[in-house]
Amino acid sequence: MTAPARLFEIWVFLAQSPLLWLSLTLLAYLGALWLHTRSGRNPMVNPVLISVIVIVTVLLLTRTPYDTYFEGAKFVHFLIGPATVALAVPLYGQIDRLRRLWLPIGVALVVGSVAAIVSAVGIAWVLGGSHELMMSLAPKSATMPIAMGVAEKIGGLPSLAAVAAAVAGISGAIMATGLLNLLRIREPAVRGFAVGMAAHGIGTARAIQVNETAGAFSALAMGLNGIATALLVPLIVKLMGA
């Protein structure tokens, strides 16, 4: 048997092992995180984006089905739940401020959630997007599981909603710092809440790296916006006649 044939047989064997894809996921993220750190935590060098590019490239080059990859990566997927719950720890440290700021937080939540939904549906409509596309984009600023569930209920595609949510999170994490600096918004709580509203979990991860208070308020916005999106999307879509 020739060397290339042996290598192919070895690859076929390894490709069926969940450990291979778990290792690829962890190594891709660790490598991306190293690049992010070396860049001085430049938001343009986003570790999530880099990891996605690396993993998708490997899957395409090896023609590996997503289901095969997910069998190995589902352990990381399971950890999303505990990681999200852990965000309550820095939030608890801000409990006194939350009691004082409940009114502006409530107003910002409603305005931000409505703006995210209306802008997504409106832009898609102006550009001639299909009904299915508009319904998939409507919940893009919520966390991915909520976005997928809401999109499915209103006639969208869960897979497309997942992509839209990922793009919103990554782009929000990349652009947030520069945009907030341009608007001269310095208060960490305000910056964090804005990032959590627009970029959910990915933005929250970025906010925590920058400032603990910003991370706490970003986690709060992410959770509240998930609930608000699930409640408001069907209503707004009905009112818009989309």
Residues 148 and 228 in one domain: yes
Buried b (16+ CB within 10 A) or exposed e, 212-242: ebbbbbbbbbbbbbbebbbebbeebbeeeeb
Give mean pLDDT, residues 211-219.
86
**E strand or H helix at 207, and its extent?**
helix 188-210
Give mean pLDDT, residues 206-230.
86
Give mean pLDDT, residues 233-241.
81
Domain end position, chosen among 25, 52, 78:
78
Please state, in angstroms and as integers, the Cα–Cα distance from residue 7 to each residue in 11, 71, 78, following that order: 6, 23, 32
User: Phi/psi at 123 (nearest 5 deg)?
Assistant: -65, -45
Residues 106 and 15 in one domain: no
Give mean pLDDT, residues 78-103.
75
Domain end position, chosen among 78, 96, 117:
78
Residues 198 and 150 in one domain: yes
Residues 131 and 175 in one domain: yes
Residues 216 and 233 in one domain: yes
Residues 57 and 151 in one domain: no
pLDDT tens figures, 136-191: 999 998 888 888 888 988 888 888 888 899 889 888 888 888 888 898 988 888 89
Query: Does the structure show a pLDDT above 70 at 205?
Result: yes
Residues 43 and 148 in one domain: no
pLDDT at 97: 79
Instruction: Provide the residue range defining the domain that includes 164.
Output: 87-240
Residues 38 and 98 in one domain: no
pLDDT tens figures, 8-38: 454 454 556 667 788 888 889 999 889 988 8
Contact present, 157 and 136 (Cβ < 8 Å): yes
* pTM of the predicted structure, to 2 decimals: 0.77
Q: Count up the domains in the chain and report the number.
A: 2
